[in-house]
Amino acid sequence: MNRNKLDINYQPIAWLGNRVKILDQTRLPSQEAYLETSDYREVITAIKELKVRGAPAIGVAGAYALALGALKIEAKNTSAYLTKLRSIAKAVASARPTARNLSWAVERMEKVARKDKAIERIKSALVSKAVKIHTEEAEATVRLSRFGAVLIKNGSVILTHCNTGPLATTGYGTALGIIIYAHKQGKKVQVYADETRPLLQGARLTAWELKKANIPVTLLTDSMAGYMMKQGKIDCVIVGADRIAVNGDTANKIGTYSLAVLAKENKIPFYVAAPASTFDLSLKSGAEIPIEERNMKEVTHFRGIAVAPGDVSAVNPAFDITPARYITAFITEKGIIKRPFAKGFENIE
Amino acid sequence: MNRNKLDINYQPIAWLGNRVKILDQTRLPSQEAYLETSDYREVITAIKELKVRGAPAIGVAGAYALALGALKIEAKNTSAYLTKLRSIAKAVASARPTARNLSWAVERMEKVARKDKAIERIKSALVSKAVKIHTEEAEATVRLSRFGAVLIKNGSVILTHCNTGPLATTGYGTALGIIIYAHKQGKKVQVYADETRPLLQGARLTAWELKKANIPVTLLTDSMAGYMMKQGKIDCVIVGADRIAVNGDTANKIGTYSLAVLAKENKIPFYVAAPASTFDLSLKSGAEIPIEERNMKEVTHFRGIAVAPGDVSAVNPAFDITPARYITAFITEKGIIKRPFAKGFENIE
């Protein structure tokens, strides 16, 4: 197998020179529809509405959004240009609060902008940087997947949550990338995919991606995962991440914390797979990670149809924090980080 | 408060002399539609399709189904009559496998049938017995609720799963009955209701019943419950049960096991509320409780709309087993049973 060749036959994000093309994930699996735009505000909206989602993918989309914005800025001088760029960068970075990858990508883009004085060269440098971020992030997932595949034994039954494949990363994937990589190595693997309420990324996207990869997948509701573990049906749990603090506390899709507790209770390894761009070593613990609270209609309604009495209230935290003590190891593009995590984290940034 | 008066303004099951009237729970909360029938096979179908559901309620529905069947049997002699009755009893008892209450009710009905020799008197005795089972089960939930309410402090925030109110029991409810009772005592209570995938009994039914009772309710996906506990937002968890073995292992709606593990991890009391009819002391442990596996379309589809790729497979266990070690106490109509459970269980039957 060619280590860096991505043999994935769909492209969640593509750069078309002065436009970005995004596979609309809200319409999967029933439709493969694309959004094509040169307007950075449309990309921000796509990020907010989860047309593009997954921590690494929104980092890449954010970089392209800033590149699109940068191309269209009209300014008398470099200082005015950079002021306008700053304003766009802020808007992009705040599209969604939890995933570190978005602000990480924006910060890297802004650093490039500050290296030159000529507006046209800055524009060009920003486009190049966005493309580079995309390429590097995609390649990082291939390396991450190769490292992680070592942990997957032939015949493994793996539980995963939400969606962490090519769609979520623009590369091979994080948790799902590892599974796909192990499968391509010829290992027999079987996946239980949590449907992942409220937005069903597991049912809609993970099942779709695993079908495309010809990997056996069985869907279950989030509430069934613990019982499957208890019955001895799960060999390991692998999930992705949206932000990882320096102590190892990890933000990921709501429900991850419950899985981690249940895995520990049932003595099942619990792995978190994420590229370096997801680590936020400036944060001491998970308590400092902002958790996005989304519209309660995502819980009370399903595809526009009310499933509960009209006036009922709901909570809708999109993520939760899994304390480091429940995590067996982190899998990154730089290798597997086992306990004590602090040592391995030193080489992340 | 009148201890035995049920001030609930809707009736999930009613006996109309030679017909039974069932509130179709699959159409709630959008419609209050009723099924009225004198055909026991329609009642069996209603049980299978969850038009009537909840362990105590299907016990009552099962008793009425057998009464309806008994009224229509034509037989030359008592022996032939009882043979036909046995066949109907088997069909009723096997409508759903997990809840003990259904076979419990059928066994009590059959015992009555064997006490007489005259067919007409047997018919009459069976109708009387079904009505008696209904009345006693409803009253049991009032007593259970009164005992359980002692555990609810003023200002409590309670997490519950699935639906355990009047709809599920024909009385006050089990877990929800306790909450309703505490509220009627003037205690301030607030409920977090798991939506309870796949069939959303929490979103559709529990939210509806708590709204009717004027009790503040907040909906959440099953995957959010652990995170709410972790954040210190939950004072206790109360659930119902479908079958309880002699060692205290408890079958209840899928997802209950996960909640119990998460409650223990977060040092939150975890209570199981159930009438005596739910206890199956002939079973040594939860391993002997049959778990109903339902159609996978309940997971892959949402109100008839596919949410996953068309050919994906799914598991759909309707219940799970919570080992006794996670349960703080059982709440029954005979009182609260604390550890060691064996002692309290002696007085159950």
DSSP string, A237-284: EEE--SEEETT--EEEETTHHHHHHHHHHTT--EEEE--GGGEETT-S
Measured between beta carbons, the chain B residues lying within 8 angstroms of A197 are 195, 197, 221-223
| Closest CB from B217, B265, B312 relative to A207 | B312
Give B264 to chain A, closest Cα distance, Å.
10
Measured between beta carbons, the chain B residues lying within 8 angstroms of A192 are 315
Phi, psi of A196, deg, nearest 5: 70, 75
Give A299 to chain B, closest Cα distance, Å.
7
Strand A156-160 vs strand B13-15: parallel, antiparallel, or unpaired? unpaired
Give B349 to chain A, closest Cα distance, Å.
29
**Which residues 6+ apart lie within 8 Å of A228 measured at CB?**
A159, A192, A220, A234, B315
Cis? peptide before A12, omega within 30° of 0: no
Cross-chain Cβ contact B197/A222 below 8 Å: yes
Task: Determine the pLDDT at residue B1.
Answer: 40
Distance of alpha carbon B44 from the chain centroid: 16
Measured between beta carbons, the chain A residues lying within 8 angstroms of B262 are 258, 261-262
What's the mean pLDDT when you consider all of chain A? 96
Whole-Å CA distances, B112 to A341, B128, B258: 67, 10, 40
Q: Where are the domains of chain A?
A: 13-142, 151-345
Domain A13-142 annotated CATH 1.20.120.420: yes
Cross-chain Cβ contact B307/A228 below 8 Å: no
Give B83 to chain A, closest Cα distance, Å.
40
CB contact at 8 A, B303 and B260? no
Quote the CATH superfamily of domain A151-345.
Translation initiation factor eif-2b; domain 2 (3.40.50.10470)
Of the pLDDT bands very low, low, confident and very high (cuts 50, 70, 90), residue A302 is confident
Buried b / exposed e along A139-150 (16+ C-beta atoms within 10 A): bbbbbbbbbbbe
pLDDT in tens, chain B (349 residues): 444 455 788 999 999 999 999 999 999 999 999 999 999 999 999 999 999 999 999 999 999 999 999 999 999 999 999 999 999 999 999 999 999 999 999 999 999 999 999 999 999 999 999 999 999 999 999 999 999 999 999 999 999 999 999 999 999 999 999 999 999 999 999 999 999 999 999 999 999 999 999 999 999 999 999 999 999 999 999 999 999 999 999 999 999 999 999 999 999 999 999 999 999 999 999 999 999 999 999 999 987 889 999 889 999 999 999 999 999 999 999 999 999 999 999 988 7
Q: What is the pLDDT of residues B147-186, one digit of tens each?
A: 999 999 999 999 999 999 999 999 999 999 999 999 999 9
Where on the phi/psi map is residue A54: left (φ > 0), alpha (ψ -120 to 50), or beta? left
Give B308 to chain A, closest Cα distance, Å.
5
Cross-chain Cβ contact B320/A226 below 8 Å: yes
CB contact at 8 A, A73 and A85? yes
What does the angle CA B333 – CA B338 – CA B342 come to, to the nearest 5 degrees? 90
Cross-chain Cβ contact A198/B208 below 8 Å: no
Cross-chain Cβ contact A258/B255 below 8 Å: no
Query: Chain A residue closest to B302 (CA)?
Result: A302
Of the pLDDT bands very low, low, confident and very high (cuts 50, 70, 90), residue A214 is very high
Residue A3 has pLDDT above 90, yes or no: no
Q: Which of A2, A4, A53, A44 is nearest to A25 (CA)?
A: A53
Number of CB pairs, chain A paired with chain B, less than 8 A apart: 177
Cross-chain Cβ contact B195/A307 below 8 Å: yes
Cis? peptide before B198, omega within 30° of 0: yes
| Closest CB from A220, A255, A314 relative to B219 | A314
Looking at the whole model, is its pTM more than 0.95?
A: yes
- What is the greatest pairwise CA distance in chain A? 67
Instruction: Determine how many CB atoms are found less than 10 A away from the CB of residue A284.
Output: 11
Query: Chain A residue closest to B162 (CA)?
Result: A223
Cross-chain Cβ contact B219/A315 below 8 Å: yes
Cross-chain Cβ contact A312/B225 below 8 Å: no
Mutate to test the interface with A, among B194, B211, B227, B293 (most CBs of A within 10 A): B227
